[in-house]
């Protein structure tokens, strides 16, 4: 999610391109003048399509095309990212760094999130199938679990009593 709305970016970019100083706009909106100049460049290349998110995430081939265009045209990170309507030159910098260190593999989209461990769910044995030691262990576990639940219930009741006393 962007810190600034698309509508605000377009308004500021139009004002900047309409010969207003980036410093003046910077003071007025409390946004860095560099950011305002970047938004102006994005808007000058992409007009009303500016600041729209891509329809789908960039594939490794798409990223490579952007980097190739930057290298062949000898464009800066800022110019290239503005031309391709990227959210910031930092995005392009990350692509470039990953490509230089890992090659094409560095441009492939990464899987997000924490991988789930697939642990099999152990089905509890019937009491007549358990050994004497397993039954003792389960009894001990259940007693401990019961004690924890009783303690939790006592704490909740104590908390309710304190809340009632405060209301009076």
pLDDT 10s digits, 125-161 = 888 888 899 999 999 999 999 999 999 999 999 999 8
Alpha-carbon distances of 51 from 79, 87, 96, 152, rounded to whole Å: 15, 7, 21, 52
Verify that 28 and 67 share a domain, yes or no.
Answer: no
Verify that 66 and 88 share a domain, yes or no.
Answer: yes
Verify that 2 and 45 share a domain, yes or no.
Answer: yes
- Report helix, strand or coil for 153: helix
Verify that 34 and 73 share a domain, yes or no.
Answer: no
Q: How confident is the model at residue 57 (pLDDT cuts 50, 70, 90)?
A: confident
What's the token pair of residue 81?
């990212």
Element (H, E) at 35: helix 33-46
Task: For residue 95, count CB atoms less than 10 angstroms from its CB and return exposed for 0-12, middle for 13-18, buried for 19 or more.
Answer: buried
Kindly report the number of other CB atoms within 10 A of residue 14's CB atom.
Answer: 14
| Domains: count for the chain | 3
Verify that 21 and 46 share a domain, yes or no.
Answer: yes
- Domain membership of residue 70 as a residue range: 55-110
Verify that 4 and 28 share a domain, yes or no.
Answer: yes
pLDDT 10s digits, 65-114 = 999 999 999 999 999 999 999 989 999 999 999 999 999 999 998 877 88
What's the token pair of residue 76?
């800066």
**Within a domain: residue 118?**
no
Q: How confident is the model at residue 21 (pLDDT cuts 50, 70, 90)?
A: very high
**Within a domain: residue 121?**
no
Mean per-residue pLDDT for 22-34?
Answer: 94
């Amino acid at each position: 999610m962007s810190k600034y709305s698309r509508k605000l970016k377009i308004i500021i970019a139009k004002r900047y391109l309409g010969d207003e100083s980036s410093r003046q706009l910077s003071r007025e909106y409390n946004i860095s003048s560099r950011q305002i100049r970047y938004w102006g460049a994005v808007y000058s290349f992409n007009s009303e399509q500016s600041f729209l998110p891509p329809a789908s995430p960039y594939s490794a081939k798409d990223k490579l095309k952007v980097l190739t265009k930057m290298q062949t045209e000898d464009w800066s990170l800022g110019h290239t990212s503005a031309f391709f309507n990227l959210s910031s030159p930092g995005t392009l910098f990350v692509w470039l760094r990953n490509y230089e260190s890992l090659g094409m593999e560095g441009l492939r989209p990464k899987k997000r999130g924490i991988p789930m461990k697939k642990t099999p769910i152990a089905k509890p044995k019937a009491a007549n199938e358990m050994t004497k030691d397993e039954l003792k262990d389960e009894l001990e576990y259940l007693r401990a679990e019961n004690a924890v639940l009783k303690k939790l219930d006592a704490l909740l009741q104590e908390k309710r009593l304190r809340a009632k006393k405060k209301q009076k």
